[in-house]
Amino acid sequence: MTGRHAPSLRELVDGATQLLREAGVGSPAHDARALAAFALGRERLVPGLDPDPDPGFAARFAALVERRRAREPLQRITGRTAFRYLDVPVADGVFVPRPETETVAEHAVGEARRVREAGRDAVVVDLCCGAGVIGASVALEVPGARVHAVDASPAAVDATRATAREARVALDVEVGDVRDAHLLAALDGAVDVVVANPPYIPPDAVPQDPEVRDHDPDLALYGGGADGLEVPRAVVDAAARLLRPGGLLVMEHAEVQAAAVRAELRAHGSFTQVTTDQDLTGRDRMVLARKAEQRASTGSDVEHSRS
């Protein structure tokens, strides 16, 4: 009697896709293929060129799929994530970089490149750096830029150093609290770009996605205060101190915080050209502002959004 044939790789991936879809995973087909590639020790699967799985593949793959079915983030399962031109390790206890932050990095890269093309060494500070992907992207894409990265979490600082090693770029990394009025004091008035993806979630707005709620550290999520903007306000204060006149602040925030963040910057009086920009999904997710040549009077900036 002939036994049932072993399922093909395609059949296993199709079955995993259905399981992940039923579990509410947002990209079930992509994740199923990524997990299959990981179980096979490959970087990716090539459609139409599926390899024959080895005898132990089905069990390894099933265990990985079960973890993703339980909504453990794909990046934490595979231990890596992509961000712009980087492929970096994902560390436990550190916020997993998201694609929507790539636009924040793009603004920082573009400004640093503009400064370099003007004949100056670009000085960039990445506050609340997390895994360090923004600062590392600037250092990689703008050779000669001097990048400083700071985070209050020692685990994040270790992760940033690992990111820099893998990217083969030089970052000046240190543990520090953005609320410290003397943080990076030696750079006061000398920085061209301050970029930040700070924690900004209000205390009563617990993330709905289990991947974020259950697996990212609270220190990287909740911004403090009733509106979640305590840490972002500290970023604004630090940027006002660190930036040279005309220097650029780029800071990520929640979509619903766009107007409030612009209002904070206008009220601060140190910034001009305050605008909101969108992430890759078309949502208002970051503020940009220039350090004023002279301290602006409150309300002098024109509030507008590119949304």
205 and 132 in a common domain: yes
201 and 242 in a common domain: yes
160 and 24 in a common domain: no
102 and 167 in a common domain: yes
> What does pLDDT average to over the chain?
89
pLDDT tens across 21-66, in order? 999 998 999 999 999 999 998 888 876 667 777 888 999 999 999 9
> What's the distance, Cα to Cα, between the start and end of the chain in Å?
66
3-state helix/strand/coil string of 1-50: CCCCCCCCHHHHHHHHHHHHHHCCCCCHHHHHHHHHHHHHCCCCCCCCCC
249 and 163 in a common domain: yes
Cα 290–Cα 270–Cα 242 angle in degrees, nearest 5: 75
For residue 295, what pLDDT is reported?
Answer: 54
Q: In total, how many domains does the chain have?
A: 2
For residue 270, what pLDDT is reported?
Answer: 95
Give the ranges where the chain is alpha helix by DSSP (H). Answer: 9-22, 28-40, 57-69, 74-78, 102-117, 133-141, 154-167, 210-213, 218-221, 230-242, 258-268
Tell me whether residue 78 is in a domain.
Answer: no
pLDDT band at 301 (very low <50, low <70, confident <90, very high): very low
Pick from 92, 91, 105, 89: nearest CA to 147: 105
Tell me whether residue 166 is in a domain.
Answer: yes
For residue 48, what pLDDT is reported?
Answer: 64
If you average pLDDT over residues 89-95, what whole number do you get? 88
For residue 63, what pLDDT is reported?
Answer: 96
Query: Which residues have C-beta within 8 Å of that of residue 235, sequence separation ≥ 6?
Result: 127, 128, 178, 194, 196, 198, 249, 251
CATH number at residue 227: 3.40.50.150
Task: Quote the percentage of the chain above a pLDDT of 90.
Answer: 71
If you average pLDDT over residues 124-152, what whole number do you get? 97
pLDDT band at 157 (very low <50, low <70, confident <90, very high): very high
Residue 69 has pLDDT above 90, yes or no: yes
96 and 66 in a common domain: no
pLDDT band at 212 (very low <50, low <70, confident <90, very high): confident
Contact 261, 229 (CB under 8 A): yes
Residue 190 has pLDDT above 50, yes or no: yes
If you average pLDDT over residues 11-19, what whole number do you get? 93
Q: Across the strands, what pairs with 144?
A: none
163 and 33 in a common domain: no
204 and 94 in a common domain: yes
Lookup: tokens for 49:
């060129």
Position 79, amino acid: G
* Helical packing angle, 57-69 and 9-22, nearest 10°: 20
Tell me whether residue 25 is in a domain.
Answer: yes
Tell me whether residue 1 is in a domain.
Answer: no
User: CA 78 to CA 288: how far, in whole Å?
Assistant: 34
User: CA 194 to CA 237: how far, in whole Å?
Assistant: 11
Query: Buried (b) or exposed (e) across 69-92, using 16+ Cβ within 10 A?
Result: bebbbbbbbbeebebbebebebbe
Lookup: tokens for 170:
């030089």
231 and 170 in a common domain: yes
For residue 61, what pLDDT is reported?
Answer: 94
Q: Which of 28, 45, 70 is the last residue of a domain?
A: 70
Q: Range of 34's domain?
A: 9-70
For residue 46, what pLDDT is reported?
Answer: 74
125 and 206 in a common domain: yes
Pick from 199, 259, 206: nearest CA to 231: 199
231 and 130 in a common domain: yes
Identify the weakest region by mean pLDDT among 63-77, 184-198, 205-219, 273-287. Answer: 205-219
Tell me whether residue 76 is in a domain.
Answer: no
Eight-class DSSP state of 201: B
58 and 155 in a common domain: no
Q: Which of 46, 70, 94 is the last residue of a domain?
A: 70
Provide the whole-model pTM.
0.86
Tell me whether residue 260 is in a domain.
Answer: yes
User: CA 273 to CA 253: how far, in whole Å?
Assistant: 18
Position 213, amino acid: R
